Amino acid sequence: MDNFDRNRPTTSPEYAAWKTEVHSFGRMSRVCTLEKLLRNERDALARAIHENFVSARAKEGRAIDDPSMRPWETLAETLKSSNRQQADHIAVKLRAISCRSVAIGTGESHPFTLTDVEVDLLARMEPARWNAERFLSGWTPGLKDVAKKVNPYLVPWEDLPDNIREYDREAVRQIPHLLSLIGCRIERVPK
């Protein structure tokens, strides 16, 4: 009804036809929550990912003036977005190993440890995700130059140095802990 007249009485036949053609779907109470609309859970997870990154890199001696080492509040929006995309990708990674994230029940404690095979599989997925994110933002491979959007690690997993592969493995090992920070745990999905 492209030409629907908003001033026409609601008793008109056209209004009645329009009204009956609208159908809701899904569970509105589940998807239309303030949490889902504002994505607070996702930002909490992204912040935790960033804080883990900063802590690990600080222990290695990364310079505190590195833009990626800033506190979340002063972090560049592009880096916040990158952390959010990594948080979003956790669900994809979990599906790859027939798992999912679920809310932790009251008094419930289910520690979850990924197997070495799962860690390796998911760690291989992270640079693929990161490469796609960077390529879509205009980055290219080469000698590092952040101003020109050039990074030497925009390569397949097989071509990454061992220390960078270990970053990805450690990020994957942290997933159960990160999810616990937002009140979630990992469970295996029955096949």
What rounded mean pLDDT belongs to the chain?
Answer: 84
pLDDT of residue 1: 44
18 DSSP 8-state letter: H
Give which of 104, 89, 73 is closest to 177, Cα–Cα: 104
**Which parts of the chain sit beneath pLDDT 70?**
1-39, 107-110
pLDDT of residue 191: 76
pTM of the predicted protein model = 0.75
Write down the residue that tokens 């270990």 correspond to. 166
Are residues 48 and 41 in contact, defined by beta-carbon separation less than 8 angstroms? no
Q: Does domain 13-188 have CATH number 1.20.1070?
A: no
Contacts for 153-159 with beta carbons within 8 Å, 24 or more apart? 153/127, 155/127, 155/131, 156/127, 156/128, 157/123, 157/124, 157/127, 157/128
Domain range list for the chain: 13-188
Strands (E), 92-139: 99-103
pLDDT of residue 34: 47
Dihedral of CA 162/98/128/83: which sign? negative
pLDDT of residue 13: 59
Write down the residue that tokens 């560049």 correspond to. 76
Neighbours of 111 (CB within 10 A): 9
Residue type, 138: G
